[in-house]
Structure 1
Amino acid sequence: MILRLVFLGLVLLPFTLVALPIQAFIVFFRLPGWQVVPLMFFKILAFGLGLRVSMQGEPVADGPVLLVANHIGWLDIVAVASRVPVSFVAKSEIARWPVVGLFAKLHRTIFVERTRRTDSRRTANEMSTRIAEGASVVLFAEGTSDIGTHVLPFRSALMGAASTAMGTNGGSQVVIQPLAIAYTAISGLPLSRHERHQVAWIGDMGVGDNLAAILGSGPKDVRLAFGAPLPANGDRKVTARTAEASVRRMLNALNRREPLPSAANMV
């Protein structure tokens, strides 16, 4: 833990102090390339936290995409953002967190007020605008976090943002891509169920306890699996169930260290 704290203090902190005003300038003036600084930041942070991130399958590289994923904890954001330039959909409380809220805003996070059902329309509109601009947006479609052994039902309320983006963008290239996130090992040994508190945000665990568990554990293997893209112009409830099934199959395979299902079997 001490070495990680030293690294974060001597490497990540100076980088952040230099990069923060640069990123603020880029976002404020809506300049291109806003993803570059966050990608560098999260790569450094992932290394400092001991994440070893690998990818299977190919993320959609060209054109707008909505990535729908399972959710285990805040480490998911670090793992995904260290490898893929994306924006996230997050609960509105994060916007009010000290420091973290500022970072989230500079990462162009889309905030949703989950206690207000009427906020889904505003959030979906903001998501569709971002997707129509050609961005990749990540939605943790379960609506909550879990320990990472199974997938909770995907909520379909915000899935329609992709089809709305098609109308805004005027093209059929907008797609929805399933993404499975799995923590498979610590210090090279398979992750057991009782060790998942070292990576997952479980129950009423506090931020300090969760961070201490992460910093105190060994190198953590994280695997990101990208499924076959789905068309965004279908029924959002059917699409949500299809994406959920794809993520579940990929997650089970990753946790069992088995080959991923073929693309034909994942959709």
Structure 2
Amino acid sequence: MIFRILFFVFGYLPFMIVFVPGQFIITRLGLSWNFIPRWFHWFGCKFLGMNVTVIGTPSTNRATLLVSNHISWTDIIAVGSKADVTFVAKSEVKKWFFVSFMATLQRTLYVDRKKRSDAHRASREMGKRMASGGAVLLFAEGQSDIGTHVLPFRSALIGAAQHAMQDAGAGEVMIQPLTIAYTRLQGLPVGRTDRSFIAWIKSKSIKQNLTEILTGGTRDVTLAFGTPQVLSAGSDRKLVARQMETEVRRMLVALNRGTALPTATTPAE
């Protein structure tokens, strides 16, 4: 804990003081420069005690919709340290002090899932980001889980992005599965009991969860990028959602067990 405090005071904080104002200006000007967000998340990983390993390659330099499982708010920091993506977050995040400010600097998209009209607005914005050749990450379960299994992917979320990309003029969009797995805690395999100190369980406040993370040990996080496939206007969104869900689940099971990742299944037409 003492090391983390020193790292924050002499490393993380000076970085934010120097570079965050610059990122604020870049965002206001509508420009895109990913250097600062990537380093911000890298510092965040070190501060929170996360060792991130990447398997596979994120789709870059083309319109991409990444669909992933979701375990904790620290998923964003882990992914952000390794890939240039736009995150889609629930509207409640905008109420979190400092977190909302930093998320906005990375051009995070907020959506109020209780309002259909707002979901349509967010989908249109997602389409615009992808149409410009960017990558958007969607936590397709629609909520977080403890990390032992994958909840059903919401095909409506993928369908909304599919329609939005058409409206925005995105010709060919890739959809890529991403699995996030917390595999070790203090060098030991993560058990089911340990996951309550990693995942953000609804019964815990953000303050309680953050305290447990900062006072806990180092965690190994694996990001496994699957094989991207074309998401066209005529693709069956329910079938695509099942394919992505299956790939993410297969990779999560393998990573949790410490076995080799399975070979990807052939996408259905």
TM-score, normalisation: structure 1: 0.94
Structure 1 residues 232, 8: CA separation in 2 closer, same or farther (over 3 Å shift)? Answer: same
2:149 alignment counterpart = 150
2:261 alignment counterpart = 260
Structure-2 separation of matches of 1:237 and 1:123:
20
Shift of residue 109, structure 1, vs aligned partner: 0.4
1:230 alignment counterpart = 229
Structure-1 separation of matches of 2:31 and 2:89:
23
User: Which ranges of structure 2 fall in alignment gaps of 5 or more residues?
Assistant: none
> After superposition, where does 1:1-80 map in structure 2 within 5 Å?
1-33=1-33, 35-80=34-79
2:115 alignment counterpart = 116
Task: Check conservation: 1:180, 1:247, Cα contact below 8 A.
Answer: yes
Structure-2 separation of matches of 1:164 and 1:231:
15
Structure 1 residues 230, 163: CA separation in 2 closer, same or farther (over 3 Å shift)? Answer: farther
Task: Check conservation: 2:127, 2:167, Cα contact below 8 A.
Answer: no
Residues 22-70 of structure 1 show CA distances to partners (whole Å, capped at 9, x for unaligned) of 001111112232x210101000110111110001111112301111000
Name the amino acid aligned to 2:200. Answer: W
Name the amino acid aligned to 1:64. Answer: A
Name the amino acid aligned to 2:22. Answer: I
Structure-1 separation of matches of 2:226 and 2:15:
34
Q: State yes or no: 1:251 paired with 2:246.
A: no
Structure 1 residues 75, 29: CA separation in 2 closer, same or farther (over 3 Å shift)? Answer: same
Partner of 1:38: helix, strand, or coil? helix
Q: More displaced, 8-17 or 162-171?
A: 162-171
Shift of residue 265, structure 1, vs aligned partner: 5.8
Partner of 2:154: helix, strand, or coil? coil
Task: Check conservation: 2:63, 2:170, Cα contact below 8 A.
Answer: no
> After superposition, where does 1:198-217 map in structure 2 within 5 Å?
198-217=197-216
Name the amino acid aligned to 1:141. Answer: A
Task: Check conservation: 2:124, 2:167, Cα contact below 8 A.
Answer: no
Q: More displaced, 70-79 or 236-245?
A: 236-245
Task: Check conservation: 2:182, 2:222, Cα contact below 8 A.
Answer: yes
Residues 137-170 of structure 1 show CA distances to partners (whole Å, capped at 9, x for unaligned) of 1111111111000000111222131454256345
Q: More displaced, 163-172 or 254-263?
A: 163-172
CA RMSD of aligned residues (A): 1.6
1:128 alignment counterpart = 127
Percent identical among aligned pairs is 47
User: Which ranges of structure 1 fall in alignment gaps of 5 or more residues?
Assistant: none
Task: Check conservation: 1:8, 1:48, Cα contact below 8 A.
Answer: yes
Task: Check conservation: 2:126, 2:136, Cα contact below 8 A.
Answer: yes
Partner of 2:157: helix, strand, or coil? coil
Name the amino acid aligned to 2:35. Answer: V
1:101 alignment counterpart = 100
Task: Check conservation: 2:61, 2:134, Cα contact below 8 A.
Answer: no
Residues 72-111 of structure 1 show CA distances to partners (whole Å, capped at 9, x for unaligned) of 0111001100111111000011112221111111110010
Task: Check conservation: 1:111, 1:123, Cα contact below 8 A.
Answer: yes
Q: More displaced, 197-206 or 160-169?
A: 160-169
